[in-house]
Amino acid sequence: MGIEEDFYATIKFNSGEEIFAKVAASEEENRTMLILHSPIKISELKGKNGIVGYKVEPWLKTTRDDMFIVNLDNVLTMSESQDIQMIDMYQNFLRDDVRDKNSESKMNRKMGYLGNIHDTKLLLEKIFKKPSSNT
C-alpha cells in the first residue's frame, strides 16, 4: 500500500497518553504503522478564572529525533484535526524549537572566568569580609 498523505491528528494511546502530530500512515507486512513527525504534548494552564493558556512541549524530551514510528495496535483512538488554532500552536512550537537549536551556544573560556571552588571562596571572603578595626 505504501505511505498515505500527511495529516494533523490528535492521538490517544492505550496507555492514556495524548499527543498531537503530523501523521502519515504506512501499511507494511499486514500491519499499519503511523509515522509521527515532531509529536507534542499540550497541557492546559489553569488560573483562578479558568484556562489561561497552553503549555506545549515535545512528546519525548530525551531525544533530538523528530520522526517516530508507532504501531497502530498501540493507538486507542486518533482524530484528524482541522483546528487552525491547534495547528498554529504546533507550527509555532516547531519554528521556535528550530530557532532555539540554531542559536544554542557552546560553552567556552571566553564566556567568563572558569575557576575552582576553593579559589572562588577565598576571593568572595576577601571581597565581602568586613575589615576589623582596632581602636
What is the residue-wise DSSP string for 42-90?
A: EEEEEETTEEEEEEEEES-SS----EEEEEGGGEEEEEE---HHHHHHH
What confidence tier does 112 reach under pLDDT thresholds 50, 70, 90? Answer: low
So where are the chain's domains? 2-100
Q: Is the pTM of this model over 0.85?
A: no
Tell me the range of 34-48, 50-64, 96-110 where mean pLDDT is highest.
34-48
The domain defined by 2-100 carries CATH number 2.30.30.100: yes
Q: Please report the pLDDT score of residue 51 as a whole number.
A: 73
Q: What is the tens place of the pLDDT at every residue in 46-98?
A: 888 877 788 889 999 888 888 999 999 999 999 999 999 899 989 998 888 77
